[in-house]
Homo-oligomer: A and B are copies of this chain.
Amino acid sequence: MAKAPVERKTRIQTENKARILDAALEVFSRHGYRGATIDQIADGAGMSKPNLLYYFRRKQDIYQTLIDRLLDTWLKPLIELDQEGDPLPELRGYIRRKLEMARDYPRESRLFANEMLQGAPRIHKVLETRLRDLVDEKAEVISDWMAAGRLNRADPRHLIFAIWSTTQHYADFDVQVRAVLGPKRGGEGRFDDAARFLETLFLDGLKPRDPQGVAPQPKIRVLGDE
Most chain B CB within 10 A, of A88, A99, A135, A175, is at: A175
Shortest C-beta distance, A94 to chain B (Å), equals 12
Q: Mark A55-99, 1 if CB is under 8 A from B, else 0.
A: 000000000000000000000000000000011110110001001
A19 at the interface (CB under 8 A from B): no
Residue of B nearest to A31 (CB): B34
Asked if A154 is at the interface of the complex by the 8 Å CB criterion, the answer is: yes
Of B31, B91, B196, the residue contacting A35 (CB under 8 A) is B31
Give CA–CA (A142, B34) in the complex, Å. 41
Chain A, interface SS category: helix
Copies of this chain, whole number: 2
The answer to whether B172 and A157 have CB atoms under 8 Å apart is no
Using CB atoms, name the residue of chain B closest to A202: B206
Q: Mark A85-122, 1 if CB is under 8 A from B, else 0.
A: 01111011000100110011000001001101111100
- Across the interface, A197 reaches (CB within 8 A) one of B124, B159, B207, namely B159
- Beyond A118-B31, A120-B176, A182-B132, whether A205 also contacts B161 by CB under 8 A is no
Closest partner residue, chain B, to A109 (CB atom): B117
Known contacts A29-B117, A30-B119, A35-B33; decide if A208 and B172 are in contact (CB<8 Å).
no
Q: 18 additional contacts, CB 8 Å, given A34-B35, A191-B223, A203-B206?
A: A30-B117, A30-B118, A31-B34, A35-B35, A88-B206, A88-B214, A89-B215, A113-B173, A128-B179, A128-B182, A135-B180, A148-B213, A158-B198, A159-B197, A161-B169, A201-B201, A202-B205, A203-B207
Contact across chains for A177 and B161 when beta carbons are under 8 A apart? yes
Residues of B within 8 A of A177 (CB): 161
A193–B155 alpha-carbon span in the complex (Å): 8
